[in-house]
A and B are shown apart, each in its own frame.
Chain A
């Protein structure tokens, strides 16, 4: 018996469409969905390792209840009923004593996030967190300050672009298949790629121009680019006149930021900065200054992300072929999106968020996501109320939130930690109850509302029944909810029934997804009229270079550039990034991915290494005020002398994940927990380290 199932990958958060072949109840092959344009069977290495995850005996297989000290790793297997009863009993005790607001839930944004939010609303807590702010909170806020729309509501038409500029956006290693192929198509059609990064990534090796910028000075480069553009009138005057608010203020602001000034700060020759500005202008509006994926580098992150989108606005590369476009939802064609459980009526929650988002301390970050790196301090400070229970769903606070020592201290204060995951994560190791989720090939998931030039819906479908004693989160949340007396908010018996409920009113049924895995609301691409039709959501309905959002909250739209401090002798700036073989902190134990890349190494500049007596392959100690670790040195000319680089997500501490246990060093162990208080991202590149031979 052979069958084909159209579904969505979940080896990372991108959700690429896949086609799964099932023979006699076993998944035998996964490829990208051949019926989706831009995918056409392509699958990245993590996606290709999906079957290895399915059959991995080291993934979580049954509920676990802790028997030893927290962090001792002593667990016993439990039945689902016992595990869920244990959680409910402890949760009731916490809520009785401290109120519903004392419960927090963290997760990576996923298709069932509306279920998690429903759970939190029903138990009366405002403290739902997604991983988003850790990655790109400031990109989100930057886009809202300019367009009134988030970064998630803005897409890029790579294929038709003539010139793309990337600031460390390592698009060919941090792979999203459709984006990669869009870029490759553009390059094949003659587009230019300018890549700016203190480190030579694979993306750099395909670029037409590469600048090894001094770490942390991208903003200086952009202010100089804006200076040149406005001085030489290289902008799209018609577009700017119609849509942009605050041009004269911007012009006055960038006056001192000449290319010669920027050369001193960035190390990029002034003449080359001028040349890029002129080239981009020549190809406008089909140009892209890429706004990044992860935008979490420095404490002034929002201003870098704003400067990038200001450059695009000046080029008129907004809502145009080969530029940025606003994603269109089903409302554009008079249709309805899938329903979400959060549309139900919930009791009012009076408590403010514990991370202070939405208060005067942190007014601008998106309350839809929260700021998870504030959580450790919030738990420790109990200001203005304690957090006593934490649910961790498909998220790794210990590996993702900077300063894992601080995070551990916070975990110690909790009465209840529950981890729901596929992997034996480090946080699972510290949990009281661990609930195993079915892997994506074993479960149907909630609808993906895929807005874009054509609004569509995609669906993750169960290909095979669960191999172990695992369940899916929508069902787990419902079953905990029933025990907590809030079962009425989960009106379904399984996820498939929930999906049918979601589809009510959309004009589509579950069966409509059988043929190709997705449905389209229209077959036409929708572009708004650039002259009159941009539906911007700022108060002025314009692109607000001078931002009412920022200024109403007491922040400047154009704060003066603060030079990157010159490092003391022997210090390095720690920068982190991605590789095609791993996703966040979640794939390091996958047998095939681990085989190809089992530990991270420390990139260090050849001259700096020689001065320290470090040779390629030597073990070195890398240390910050937060922590230190032993790691192999990778000595190379292809990194800026002021920086050292390591891949994110290694140095795992859960012994149940034996392949990745104790391999490499965790960047979160070294990083300082610093937040861009305007935008919401952590400043992951504001940690200074020393390096010594072991």
Chain B
């Protein structure tokens, strides 16, 4: 697992797809590949109210990535310093083995280059001290990028606020 984590605070996501578009724009991609995607899980009545979910799907940057193991040319690789999984474009031959191997559909096909493109957490931006494009512009700031331990802290702090009963302390 890379030392980074892209946390989607799903409660604040409005399913607007801005992350998807800025990702493509930043990588100058044609129609087709979506290195990240928001999938709308359609509404359902829950306790009398319509509820829906807007699920953000980037690459998970696995510890033992199926795609890296499967890649015959060494194009799919993991950065030793931080675990970001990316495609070295000059080595990709378009064989699609990584597409077959990935259980989550993260590697995407670029019809213009005949090669694979995928979420690399915008490593150039990360190296320049910036956040990935998606987490930078997210309309509601529901995407948080950082070290894994900092991301879990957001949920713990929020949950603590919900369960804390300041008025009725035992």
Q: Does B18 lie within 8 Å of A47, measured CB to CB?
A: yes
B3 at the interface (CB under 8 A from A): no
| Chain A positions near chain B (C-beta within 8 angstroms) | 28-32, 40-45, 47-52, 172-173, 175, 177, 180-181, 184, 188, 200, 202, 204-210, 580-581, 591-593, 595-596, 638
Give bound CA distance, A385 to B39, whole Å.
55
Question: A643 → chain B, closest Cβ, in Å?
Answer: 16
9 A-B pairs in the complex with CB atoms less than 8 angstroms apart: A42-B137, A48-B25, A49-B21, A175-B139, A205-B50, A210-B49, A581-B17, A591-B31, A592-B21
Q: Does B18 lie within 8 Å of A43, measured CB to CB?
A: yes
B15 at the interface (CB under 8 A from A): yes
Collect the chain B residues with CB atoms within 8 Å of residue A581's CB: 16-17
Collect the chain A residues with CB atoms within 8 Å of residue B18's CB: 43-45, 47-48, 580
Taking CB atoms and an 8 Å cut-off, the chain B residues in 24-55 that contact chain A are 24-26, 30-32, 43, 49-52
Question: B118 → chain A, closest Cβ, in Å?
Answer: 18
Question: B141 → chain A, closest Cβ, in Å?
Answer: 6
Q: Which of A31, A206, A580 contacts B136 (CB 8 A)?
A: A31
Q: Does A31 lie within 8 Å of B43, measured CB to CB?
A: no
B22 at the interface (CB under 8 A from A): yes
Given A43-B137, A592-B24, is A205 in contact with B17 using a C-beta cutoff of 8 Å?
no
Q: Does B52 lie within 8 Å of A184, measured CB to CB?
A: no
Collect the chain A residues with CB atoms within 8 Å of residue B138's CB: 42
Give bound CA distance, A206 to B69, whole Å.
42
Give bound CA distance, A595 to B139, whole Å.
20
Give bound CA distance, A40 to B139, whole Å.
9
B140 at the interface (CB under 8 A from A): yes
How would residues 67 to 95 of chain B score, 1 for a CB under 8 Å from any chain A CB and 0 otherwise?
00000000000000000000000000000
Q: Which of A40, A41, A45 contacts B21 (CB 8 A)?
A: A45
B64 at the interface (CB under 8 A from A): no
Q: Does A180 lie within 8 Å of B31, measured CB to CB?
A: no
Question: A195 → chain B, closest Cβ, in Å?
Answer: 9
Q: Does A41 lie within 8 Å of B137, measured CB to CB?
A: yes
Give bound CA distance, A209 to B48, whole Å.
9
Q: Does B26 lie within 8 Å of A29, measured CB to CB?
A: yes
Give bound CA distance, A184 to B141, whole Å.
10
Question: B124 → chain A, closest Cβ, in Å?
Answer: 11
Question: B101 → chain A, closest Cβ, in Å?
Answer: 26
Q: Which of A30, A48, A188, A205 contacts B51 (CB 8 A)?
A: A205
Residue of B nearest to A31 (CB): B137
Pick the most buried of A28, A181, A202, A204: most chain B CB atoms within 10 A of its CB.
A202
Collect the chain B residues with CB atoms within 8 Å of residue A42's CB: 137-141
Number of interface residues, chain B, beta carbon within 8 A: 27
B100 at the interface (CB under 8 A from A): no
Residue of B nearest to A579 (CB): B16
Give 10 closest A-B pairs by Cβ, nearest first.
A580-B16, A48-B21, A48-B22, A205-B52, A43-B137, A45-B18, A172-B14, A200-B50, A595-B31, A48-B18
Collect the chain B residues with CB atoms within 8 Å of residue A175's CB: 14, 16, 139
Collect the chain A residues with CB atoms within 8 Å of residue B52's CB: 202, 205
Give bound CA distance, A51 to B133, whole Å.
14
Q: Does A596 lie within 8 Å of B141, measured CB to CB?
A: no
B12 at the interface (CB under 8 A from A): yes
Question: A278 → chain B, closest Cβ, in Å?
Answer: 19
Q: Does B139 lie within 8 Å of A43, measured CB to CB?
A: yes
Q: Which of A41, A172, A205 contacts B43 (CB 8 A)?
A: A205
Collect the chain A residues with CB atoms within 8 Å of residue B12's CB: 184, 188
Taking CB atoms and an 8 Å cut-off, the chain B residues in 118-160 that contact chain A are 133, 136-141
Taking CB atoms and an 8 Å cut-off, the chain B residues in 3-22 that contact chain A are 12, 14-18, 20-22
Give bound CA distance, A593 to B30, whole Å.
12
Question: A311 → chain B, closest Cβ, in Å?
Answer: 23
Collect the chain A residues with CB atoms within 8 Å of residue B22's CB: 43, 48
Give bound CA distance, A43 to B137, whole Å.
5
Given A43-B137, A51-B25, A180-B139, is A580 in contact with B50 using a C-beta cutoff of 8 Å?
no
Q: Does B16 lie within 8 Å of A45, measured CB to CB?
A: yes
Question: B125 → chain A, closest Cβ, in Å?
Answer: 9
Give bound CA distance, A207 to B50, whole Å.
8
Collect the chain B residues with CB atoms within 8 Å of residue A206's CB: 14
14 more A-B contacts (CB under 8 A) besides A30-B25, A32-B137, A595-B31?
A28-B26, A42-B138, A45-B17, A45-B139, A48-B22, A49-B25, A188-B12, A202-B14, A204-B43, A208-B49, A210-B49, A210-B50, A581-B17, A592-B24
Collect the chain A residues with CB atoms within 8 Å of residue B15's CB: 202, 580
Collect the chain A residues with CB atoms within 8 Å of residue B31's CB: 591-592, 595
How would residues 91 to 105 of chain B score, 1 for a CB under 8 Å from any chain A CB and 0 otherwise?
000000000000000
Give bound CA distance, A595 to B30, whole Å.
10
Collect the chain B residues with CB atoms within 8 Å of residue A47's CB: 18, 137
Give bound CA distance, A591 to B112, whole Å.
15
Give bound CA distance, A152 to B24, whole Å.
35
Question: A124 → chain B, closest Cβ, in Å?
Answer: 45
Give bound CA distance, A43 to B31, whole Å.
21
Question: B31 → chain A, closest Cβ, in Å?
Answer: 5
Pick the most buried of B16, B20, B49: most chain A CB atoms within 10 A of its CB.
B16
Question: B35 → chain A, closest Cβ, in Å?
Answer: 13
Residue of B nearest to A200 (CB): B50
Give bound CA distance, A417 to B76, whole Å.
56
Residue of A nearest to B53 (CB): A205
Give bound CA distance, A47 to B15, whole Å.
15
Give bound CA distance, A206 to B18, whole Å.
18
Collect the chain A residues with CB atoms within 8 Å of residue B137's CB: 31-32, 41-43, 47-48
Collect the chain A residues with CB atoms within 8 Å of residue B136's CB: 31, 41
Give bound CA distance, A168 to B134, whole Å.
29
Question: A168 → chain B, closest Cβ, in Å?
Answer: 14
Give bound CA distance, A205 to B14, whole Å.
9
Give bound CA distance, A596 to B17, whole Å.
9
Collect the chain B residues with CB atoms within 8 Å of residue A210's CB: 49-50
Question: B33 → chain A, closest Cβ, in Å?
Answer: 10
Give bound CA distance, A220 to B21, whole Å.
42
Question: B146 → chain A, closest Cβ, in Å?
Answer: 15
Collect the chain B residues with CB atoms within 8 Å of residue A188's CB: 12
Give bound CA distance, A200 to B48, whole Å.
13
Q: Does B141 lie within 8 Å of A40, measured CB to CB?
A: yes
Q: Does B141 lie within 8 Å of A44, measured CB to CB?
A: no
Give bound CA distance, A251 to B96, whole Å.
72
Q: Does A177 lie within 8 Å of B21, measured CB to CB?
A: no
Pick the most buried of B12, B14, B32: most chain A CB atoms within 10 A of its CB.
B14
Give bound CA distance, A32 to B137, whole Å.
7
Collect the chain A residues with CB atoms within 8 Å of residue B14's CB: 172-173, 175, 180, 202, 206, 580
Residue of B nearest to A212 (CB): B50
Pick the most buried of B32, B50, B136: most chain A CB atoms within 10 A of its CB.
B50
Q: Does A596 lie within 8 Å of B20, measured CB to CB?
A: yes
Q: Does B43 lie within 8 Å of A200, measured CB to CB?
A: yes
Q: Does B139 lie within 8 Å of A177, measured CB to CB?
A: yes
Question: B160 → chain A, closest Cβ, in Å?
Answer: 14
Q: Does A580 lie within 8 Å of B141, measured CB to CB?
A: no
Give bound CA distance, A29 to B25, whole Å.
8
Given A206-B14, A210-B50, is A593 in contact with B21 using a C-beta cutoff of 8 Å?
yes
Question: A25 → chain B, closest Cβ, in Å?
Answer: 15
Collect the chain A residues with CB atoms within 8 Å of residue B32's CB: 595
Q: Does A638 lie within 8 Å of B43, measured CB to CB?
A: yes
Give bound CA distance, A592 to B50, whole Å.
29
Q: Does B140 lie within 8 Å of A180, measured CB to CB?
A: yes
Collect the chain B residues with CB atoms within 8 Å of residue A209's CB: 49
Give bound CA distance, A646 to B113, whole Å.
37
Give bound CA distance, A357 to B26, whole Å.
48
Collect the chain B residues with CB atoms within 8 Å of residue A204's CB: 43, 50
Question: B108 → chain A, closest Cβ, in Å?
Answer: 13
Collect the chain B residues with CB atoms within 8 Å of residue A205's CB: 43, 50-52
Collect the chain A residues with CB atoms within 8 Å of residue B16's CB: 44-45, 172-173, 175, 580-581
